[in-house]
Structure 1
Amino acid sequence: MRHFDLTPLYRSTVGFDRLFSMLDNAGADTPSYPPYNIERTGENAYRITMAVAGFSEDELSLEAKEHVLTIKGEKSEEDSNREILYRGIASRTFERRFQIAEYVRVDGASLENGLLHVDLVRELPEAMKPRKIEITSNTAKQIETTAH
């Protein structure tokens, strides 16, 4: 059983906290196909890169629904005239789910050189963004009263 320590990732990422917790708690039965990377590309930008060699754009589908990103790959029927002597490139059907944090939306996806890139952006609403609060002094103004 391989165990990966994800503790360093907690300190450097924003938006994938629940994803890392789920990965950390996952057992040995976690599927490893297809392999993928999650990287931070900016202050509020992330990218999931998945190796999908042998799949074309029309054989892949992405769906974002209720904080879950689902990536599916369904290989079309191969040409029966081909005789494969050795199969080193896996072409099996897969479904990979990613838990997406609140306020993270899928910005786009592209397929390039057998790698599927899914770009994510974290957009906080104005009410949740940090704001600067001005500090004022508490010196009370004295009010002079005259005695009658």
Structure 2
Amino acid sequence: MRSFDLAPLYRATVGFDQIAEMMDRALATDVSRESYPPYNIEKTAEDTYRISIAVAGFTEDDLTVELKDHALVVSGRKAEEAEPRTYLHRGIATRAFERRFTLADHVRVTGAATENGMLHIDLKREVPEALKPRQIEIARGLARGAATEPKSVN
């Protein structure tokens, strides 16, 4: 596996340490360890997303979805069975897992539900009004510094 030195990025930028740390984590992650459970991330509209995770064999009580420091953490832990079973073939994995998704600023979780062995987590990006683009009106014939308030672009 290739190794990337991100030290120059840390030296040449200010305020981008969160992005550099995220890249560092992504490059250090063992890809083979991250295959269970399988998942999809889809864009359902302009500002909405859905994460779908295959959780066959898990009930709602076995699953946990929580937010921790801009990270969505989904974990599953199957309760011990009261009566042990004898399997002739066991192909459905119900081992414990923890899956992390780093969320961008202003992305919030709007809901989570299970359906047909899938856990669906809906997300929405809500950009605050102060960060939305706005048009600055150009004043005509006014003295310097006497500009009017900017108008929001909707």
Scaled by the length of structure 2, the TM-score of the pair is 0.70
Partners in 2 of 1:113 and 1:72 — Cα distance?
Answer: 18
Q: 1:30 to 1:51 in 2, by over 3 A?
A: same
1:118 — aligned with what? Answer: 121
**Which of residues 44, 50, 65 in structure 1 aligns to 2:68?**
65
Aligned residues: 123
2:94 — aligned with what? Answer: 91
1:32 — aligned with what? Answer: 35
2:105 — aligned with what? Answer: 102
Partners in 2 of 1:138 and 1:28 — Cα distance?
Answer: 62
- Please report how far the alpha carbon of residue 102 of structure 1 lies from its aligned counterpart in structure 2 after TM superposition: 0.8
Give the aligned residue type for 1:89. Answer: I
Partners in 1 of 2:100 and 2:54 — Cα distance?
Answer: 15
Give the aligned residue type for 1:39. Answer: E
Question: Secondary structure of 1:31's partner?
Answer: helix
Alignment deviations for residues 67-121 of structure 1 (CA, whole Å, 9 cap, x no partner): 0110010001124242211011101000111111111111110100000000011
Alignment deviations for residues 22-79 of structure 1 (CA, whole Å, 9 cap, x no partner): 7863443442000001111111111100000010000000111210110010001124
1:82 — aligned with what? Answer: 85
1:145 — aligned with what? Answer: none
Give the aligned residue type for 2:55. Answer: V
Matches within 5 A, 1:6-45: 25=27, 26-45=29-48
**Which of residues 53, 58, 73 in structure 2 aligns to 1:55?**
58
**Which of residues 108, 128, 133 in structure 2 aligns to 1:130?**
133
Give the aligned residue type for 2:137. Answer: E
Q: 1:50 to 1:139 in 2, by over 3 A?
A: same
Q: How high is the sequence identity, in percent, across the aligned residues? A: 54
Q: Please say which structure displays the higher CA radius of gyration.
A: 1
Aligned-residue Cα RMSD (Å) equals 2.5
Question: Secondary structure of 1:111's partner?
Answer: strand
Q: Which has the higher helix share?
A: 2
